[in-house]
């Protein structure tokens, strides 16, 4: 039976919360958490369902295979992973929305220069028409004449609660986008590291399958020799041949799985298309936090960028509601213009006008009330999302601690079991060679070795994944990366 991988990409991204996806907050540009997705699987036609499973290929493929360490993979993912690039674009949109909102509070200045030639019918303005003023000698048609006008216009908001709170909402949305970008970087470090470890586990399974295939070939040759010597029956040769076929299938499947995981890794980190590469089995030592579970949870709640982004979205929704309520309040605006006007440029005279307006909403058909109902629902949604994320952090860290303890113990037991299974196989082969037993015992010992090896691989790399999950849970992935590489990237 084919062993399951340590942690497939599908299972990994199905159980971990992805980076919050963008959502609409009335009057605000913000980012919000989405629920855990269905299992994800990258496809050639549709591309990855999650942006963190994709990347933008960069560079030109080389003929020589590239040696890719886990640190190299993470650094490339930070630059080329689609999830990070998408978060950076979201930050740019939030910055633009913030500037647009501020423009409603800042002076708006424009200029205009015009040269007009016109003919006027005075009767159209009430002069000389029945019931209108009459001026003897004044013609009904005046012109043609030129009018030159060069004028600067300025408008300024003096008091507008809606515009002020919209600006506050966009400021909170911008904070959320910045924090979400940092959360994306932390998450992609975890994704790249997990996929790399998944590749290492697949490589270890390839090595184990090849070793078991070599053993099966040796046992098959041994069975042939013993059969020719008349020591064993022909059925033992058939059993050895069947076992050899099974191991050949396992070896082929393990190589295929390894190559597919490498393809996924290349996509995640944005390697050039068709770039051959080899992975380095040496992993840096990731320190295990020594603080208690409760202390780590408290630290994560205070510092994790995705949770802080969720709180910023709550503040954005609050400001949006205040902006809607402010739209029912009076607002004050000032406008003015200044510039020369005349029949020509040479005889133009400076003129100006200044106006102040007080706008008082009276009735808008319950539009404001409807918008408030929507804003209240959006606010409750953001609050619920933040509360759920806080609970998710608690679960994530506690689960990582349990996995760390379990895999540590499993690794210790699996190491012993692997050594014992190897001794069992050696003794079974000796007994079979001496003609004491049939090769049923040998085949059973081979299966025990295969099972013990799989348990060892799962425990070994599962322990590394548990350490990475705990670091991710505390929101310190990029800090730990900087400590490992000794830089300030």
Tokens representing 298 are 């408290």
Query: pLDDT > 90: what percent of the chain?
Result: 56
Angle between helix 70-80 and helix 161-228 axes, rounded to 10 deg:
140
Closest CA to 91 of 167, 26, 174: 174
- 414-455 pLDDT, tens digit per residue, is 999 999 999 998 898 888 887 777 778 888 888 899 999 999
pLDDT of residue 278: 94
How far are the Cα atoms of 39, 206, 334, 415 from residue 201, in angstroms, in the given order?
21, 9, 69, 16
The answer to whether 170 and 101 are in contact (CB under 8 A) is: yes
Query: CA geometry: angle at 458 spanning 455 and 462, to 5°?
Result: 140
Q: How far apart are CA 414 and CA 418, in angstroms?
A: 6
pLDDT of residue 203: 94
> Whose structure tokens read 């159980």?
15
- 50-89 pLDDT, tens digit per residue, is 889 899 998 888 989 999 999 999 999 999 999 999 999 9
CA diameter of the chain: 143
Contacts 24+ apart (CB under 8 A), 380-383: 381/317, 382/25, 382/32, 382/310, 382/313, 382/314, 382/316, 382/317, 383/314, 383/317
Let me know if 194 is exposed, middle or buried by CB neighbors in 10 A (0-12, 13-18, 19+): buried
Angle between helix 367-433 and helix 440-474 axes, rounded to 10 deg:
150
- Comparing 35-49, 59-73, 365-379, the range with the smallest average pLDDT is 35-49
- 291-309 pLDDT, tens digit per residue, is 889 999 999 999 899 999 9
| Stretch 397-408: mean pLDDT | 91
Of the chain, the end-to-end C-alpha distance in Å amounts to 45
Query: Is residue 121 classed as helix, strand or coil in its secondary structure?
Result: strand
- The better pLDDT of the pair 21, 180 is held by 180
Q: How far apart are CA 305 and CA 182, in angstroms?
A: 6
pLDDT of residue 129: 62
How far are the Cα atoms of 125, 127, 128, 141, 458 from residue 132, in angstroms, in the given order?
9, 5, 6, 16, 99
| Stretch 388-408: mean pLDDT | 92
- Comparing 141-145, 346-350, 359-363, the range with the smallest average pLDDT is 141-145
Closest CA to 204 of 477, 418, 405: 418
360: number of Cβ within 10 Å: 8
- 243-271 pLDDT, tens digit per residue, is 899 999 999 999 999 999 999 999 999 99
pLDDT of residue 32: 33
Candidates 1.20.1600.10, 1.10.1740.10, 1.25.40.10, 3.20.20.70; correct CATH number of 9-42+63-117+144-485?
A: 1.20.1600.10
| Beta carbons within 8 Å of 283's beta carbon, 6+ residues apart | 70, 197, 200, 464
| Stretch 224-229: mean pLDDT | 84
If you ran DSSP here, which 8-state letter would residue 3 be given?
Answer: P
Q: How far apart are CA 381 and CA 3, in angstroms?
A: 42
Angle between helix 440-474 and helix 161-228 axes, rounded to 10 deg:
160
| Stretch 330-335: mean pLDDT | 93
DSSP one-letter string for 370-392: HHHHHHHHHHHHHHHHHHHHHHH
| Average pLDDT over all residues of the chain | 85
Give the H or E element holding residue 339.
strand 331-342
DSSP one-letter string for 245-293: HHHHHHHHHHHHHHHHHHHHHHHHHTPPTT--EEE------PPPP-S-H
- 92-141 pLDDT, tens digit per residue, is 999 999 999 999 999 999 999 999 988 888 777 777 666 655 666 677 78
pLDDT of residue 239: 87
pLDDT band at 37 (very low <50, low <70, confident <90, very high): very low
pLDDT band at 229 (very low <50, low <70, confident <90, very high): confident
Q: How far apart are CA 299 and CA 77, in angstroms?
A: 26
Beta-bridge partners for 359: 331
pLDDT band at 345 (very low <50, low <70, confident <90, very high): confident
């Amino acid at each position: 039976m084919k062993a399951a991988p340590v942690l497939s990409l599908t299972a990994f991204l199905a159980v971990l919360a992805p980076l919050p996806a963008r959502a609409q907050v009335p009057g605000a540009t913000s980012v919000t958490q989405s629920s855990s997705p269905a299992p994800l699987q990258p496809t050639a036609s549709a591309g990855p369902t999650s942006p963190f499973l994709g990347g933008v290929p960069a560079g030109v493929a080389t003929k020589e295979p590239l040696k890719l360490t886990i640190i190299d993979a993470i650094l490339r993912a930070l630059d080329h992973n689609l999830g990070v690039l998408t978060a950076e674009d979201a930050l740019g949109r939030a910055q633009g929305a913030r500037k647009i909102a501020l423009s409603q509070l800042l002076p708006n200045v424009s200029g205009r220069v015009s040269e007009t030639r016109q003919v006027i019918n005075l009767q159209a303005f009430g002069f000389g028409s029945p019931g209108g003023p009459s001026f003897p000698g004044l013609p009904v048609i005046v012109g043609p004449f030129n009018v030159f006008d060069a004028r600067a216009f300025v408008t300024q908001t003096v008091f507008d609660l809606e515009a002020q709170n919209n600006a506050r909402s966009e400021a909170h949305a911008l904070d959320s986008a910045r924090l979400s970008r940092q959360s994306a970087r932390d998450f992609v470090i975890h994704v790249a590291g997990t996929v790399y470890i998944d590749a290492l586990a697949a490589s270890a399974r390839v090595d184990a399958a090849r070793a078991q295939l070599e053993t099966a070939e040796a046992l098959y040759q041994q069975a042939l020799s013993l059969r020719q010597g008349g020591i064993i029956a022909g059925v033992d040769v058939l059993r050895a041949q069947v076992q050899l076929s099974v191991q050949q299938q396992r070896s082929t499947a393990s190589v295929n799985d390894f190559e597919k995981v490498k393809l996924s890794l290349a996509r995640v980190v944005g390697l050039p298309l068709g770039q051959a590469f080899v992975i380095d089995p040496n992993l840096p030592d990731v320190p295990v936090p020594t603080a208690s579970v409760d202390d780590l949870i408290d630290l994560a709640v205070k510092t994790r960028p995705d949770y802080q982004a969720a709180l910023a979205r709550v503040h954005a929704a609050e400001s949006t509601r205040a902006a809607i309520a402010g739209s029912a309040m009076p607002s004050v605006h000032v406008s003015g213009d200044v510039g020369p006007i005349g029949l020509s440029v040479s005889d133009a005279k400076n003129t100006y006008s200044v106006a102040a307006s007080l706008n008082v909403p009276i009735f808008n058909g319950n539009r404001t009330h409807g918008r408030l109902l929507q804003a209240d629902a959006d606010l409750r949604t953001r609050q619920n999302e933040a509360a759920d994320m806080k609970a998710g952090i608690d679960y994530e860290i506690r689960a990582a601690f349990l996995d760390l303890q379990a895999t540590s113990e499993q690794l210790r037991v699996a190491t012993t079991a692997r050594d014992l299974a190897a001794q069992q196989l050696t003794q079974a082969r000796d007994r079979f060679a001496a003609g004491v037993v049939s090769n049923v015992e040998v085949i059973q010992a081979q299966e025990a070795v295969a099972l013990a090896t799989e348990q060892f691989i799962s425990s070994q790399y599962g322990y590394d994944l548990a350490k990475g999950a705990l670091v991710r849970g505390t929101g310190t992935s990029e800090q730990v990366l900087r400590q490992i590489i000794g830089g300030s990237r």
